[in-house]
Structure 1
Amino acid sequence: MKKLGFIDLFIDEWHANNYPAWIRGSKFAADFKLHLAWEEAPKEGRRDLKQWCKDFDMIPAQSIQQVVDECDALFVLAPSNPEVHERLAEIPLKSGKPLYIDKPFAPSRAAAQRIIQLAQKHNTPLMSSSALRYSNEIIEARQKITPAEIAFVGTRGGGSSFEEYGIHQLEMIVSLIRAKASKLMQCGAGDTKHLVIEFDTGARASVTLQAALPFTLTIAAGGKTREITSTNNFFPNLLDEILNFFNTGISPIAIEETLEIATILEVAVNAQKTLDTWIKL
């Protein structure tokens, strides 16, 4: 049975609070044991590591090194703080043990490249993803539609900021189109963010982010239009994929695709300062 370790900026956050139930409910649950957790520091008003571990039947670790030494597969969480991922992941990246880094993978292309290069140097299997890639509906769409058929993907979804939540829609788009972005433009208004992306295949995509919107999308492909009006079961599906990755050491997502998403996200975040202007990638 493989031992799992959590590494976080502060442990009492939504992903860390929910991943244990999905791990224990996974079809791969019998292969794994939730073992150690570590946080850099508790967030004010939330549970500290000792109490959190008591609540989730895990053991508080004294250091990242202890988590790496005593666990077989590793999570770096901090889903609201991608700027700390590179720092928190430094020791895990040198371990050679399968490592999942939560979304967004990195705040910039340069940081993403450094993370990838360190993993490759130490033969550390690496995976990162937004859960939305693994909704039942997106999985089915990828099975039925080839990237070459796609002319347009329009996604809509919620979130408090583009910096933190834009990743979900970009992950869906890139997982479907599977091409490099050539240029993009932010052209939203008020509290609605609207991003247009052109890919080197000629396909285009749009991202619309407004706080209360559910995640939905439109796919125009092969002369037909597919409307996806709900996205379901994405977190349990994601955890199944992560645990399978921990078993095999092979990520289901090409690292080049993860780098492409990080690149688009960085440019799109910065493009909020120059609305209605095409920016080449």
Structure 2
Amino acid sequence: MSRFARLTPASLVLATLLPLASTRAGAQDAGAKPLRAGIIGLDTSHAVAFTRSLNAPEPKPELAGVRVVAAYPGGSPDIEGNTKHVEEYTRELRDVHKVEIVGSIDALLAKVDVVLLESVDGRPHLAQAEPVFRARKPVFIDKPVAGSLADAVRIGRLAERSGTPWFSSSALRYSPSIRKLAGNPAIGDVVGCDAFSPSPLEPHHPDLFWYGIHGVETLYTVMGPGCISVSRVRTDDADVVTGTWRGGRVGTFRGTRRGPHDYGALAFGAKGIVLGQGFGGYEPLLAEVVKFFRTGRPPVSAKETLEIYAFMEAADESKRRGGAAVTLESVLAHAREEVDRESR
């Protein structure tokens, strides 16, 4: 059983927080002041895109009730172009959207109700999330959830112990072109899927964490959790990762580094085969984030998110082993052992 699935005292704390979140949502519906959102990490265009939508003079109904009021810039100078992006996006949030820029995460937490952890670099996410969990502020953690599978385990455990609601997702999970593949009667029961997305590499992250996450999350949106093992073929131009699911279903992810910059999936079902292609923007994801902030109920479980990152780590391990099949449970066990050793 996943450590995230166990009923613990922290889980009971979470159960007590959900009615409070629902009560807060009711207050929003009654015309109360919007939830105050804070952004950690201004080195990604997501921070600007989310703020533009949430702080619009007349936001869409599904985006209403949450407003960005403060931001902590952060940044990772060893990632190409990062410093320039921090300066550019900080300037827009401060000067155009009138968001207060603060000098620390603690200062931000004193001013907000909910948090968008947007740092493009997954490595600092654990350290950035720790004070958020201590403050018990509901948090959306943008991709990649962490810079390693072990850190993803640590984040899940910290959230569980504190009873803090959280979730992570690629925007592709909620892209209309992909959503139409899940539960589509024209497809019937899904028996397989071939998902694809760009997958440029960044030297400080496991190969697929940086950008391949978009296609891997697309694959999981169609297939659901339950992958047992993966194998990987890699060239300079592409990766092909084949996963075997419980019951014998097979799903693949193709990560491209040459040719069109596009996203999509071909879903194979008992009744039909349907292609979903194209990126639908950030607002479908943002609507889910707003709903999460209103209710305290994560739309993607911590257990599924951890499996997605185990899938990508197993793909890296398969590459190291020359394409051999690697089980997700083996890489999860290794990550948990690493975390347990440090906590002794």
* % identical equivalent positions: 22
8 Å Cα contact 1:134-1:234 kept in structure 2: no
Structure 2 residue identity aligned to 1:137: S
Q: Secondary structure of the residue that 1:165 maps to in structure 2?
A: coil
Structure 2 residue identity aligned to 1:114: R
Determine the structure 2 residue equivalent to 1:244. Answer: 291
Q: Secondary structure of the residue that 1:196 maps to in structure 2?
A: strand
Residues 177-201 of structure 1 deviation map (CA, whole Å, 9 limit, x = unaligned): 2232211111133311111111123
Tell me the distance in 1 between the aligned counterparts of 2:231 and 2:123: 24
Determine the structure 2 residue equivalent to 1:217. Answer: 265
Tell me the distance in 2 between the aligned counterparts of 1:16 and 1:98: 17
Structure 1 residue identity aligned to 2:158: L
Q: 1:6 aligns with which of 15, 25, 39?
A: 39
Determine the structure 2 residue equivalent to 1:172. Answer: 218
8 Å Cα contact 1:147-1:178 kept in structure 2: no
Q: Pick closer, same or farther for the CA change 1:30–1:215 going to 2, 3 Å.
A: closer
Q: Is 1:22 aligned to 2:70, yes or no?
A: no
Tell me the distance in 1 between the aligned counterparts of 2:43 and 2:209: 21
TM-score, normalised via structure 2 length: 0.74
Structure 1 residue identity aligned to 2:67: K
Structure 2 residue identity aligned to 1:55: V
Once the two structures are TM-superposed, the CA of residue 145 in structure 1 deviates from its matched residue by 5.6
Q: Secondary structure of the residue that 2:84 maps to in structure 1?
A: coil
Tell me which structure has the larger Cα radius of gyration: 2
Q: 1:268 aligns with which of 315, 320, 342?
A: 315
Residues 212-237 of structure 1 deviation map (CA, whole Å, 9 limit, x = unaligned): 34112111111421122x23424110
8 Å Cα contact 1:74-1:100 kept in structure 2: yes
Tell me the distance in 2 between the aligned counterparts of 1:183 and 1:77: 30
Q: Secondary structure of the residue that 2:273 maps to in structure 1?
A: strand
Determine the structure 2 residue equivalent to 1:84. Answer: 124
Q: 1:156 aligns with which of 196, 211, 214?
A: 196
Structure 1 gap ranges (5+): none
**How many residues of Structure 1 are paired with residues of Structure 2 in the alignment?**
277
Residues 48-87 of structure 1 deviation map (CA, whole Å, 9 limit, x = unaligned): 67634223320011210121121011011113x1121111
Residues 152-207 of structure 1 deviation map (CA, whole Å, 9 limit, x = unaligned): 10012213223411111111111222232211111133311111111123111111
Structure 2 residue identity aligned to 1:86: L
8 Å Cα contact 1:186-1:274 kept in structure 2: no
Tell me the distance in 1 between the aligned counterparts of 2:300 and 2:65: 22
Q: Secondary structure of the residue that 1:237 maps to in structure 2?
A: helix
Q: Structure 1 residues 47-56 or 65-74, which shifts more?
A: 47-56
Determine the structure 2 residue equivalent to 1:121. Answer: 161
Map residues 183-194 of structure 1 onto 2, 5 A cutoff.
183-194=229-240
Structure 1 residue identity aligned to 2:71: A
Q: Structure 1 residues 121-130 or 174-183, which shifts more?
A: 174-183
Q: Which runs of 4+ in 1 moved over 6 A?
A: none
Determine the structure 1 residue equivalent to 2:116. Answer: 75
Structure 2 residue identity aligned to 1:142: A
8 Å Cα contact 1:157-1:208 kept in structure 2: yes
Two-structure CA RMSD over aligned residues (Å): 2.2
8 Å Cα contact 1:36-1:67 kept in structure 2: yes
Q: Pick closer, same or farther for the CA change 1:225–1:26 going to 2, 3 Å.
A: same
8 Å Cα contact 1:109-1:266 kept in structure 2: yes
Q: Secondary structure of the residue that 1:142 maps to in structure 2?
A: coil
Q: Pick closer, same or farther for the CA change 1:145–1:128 going to 2, 3 Å.
A: farther
Determine the structure 1 residue equivalent to 2:340. Answer: none
Q: Pick closer, same or farther for the CA change 1:93–1:184 going to 2, 3 Å.
A: same
8 Å Cα contact 1:183-1:199 kept in structure 2: yes
Once the two structures are TM-superposed, the CA of residue 146 in structure 1 deviates from its matched residue by 11
8 Å Cα contact 2:48-2:89 kept in structure 1: no
Once the two structures are TM-superposed, the CA of residue 26 in structure 1 deviates from its matched residue by 3.7
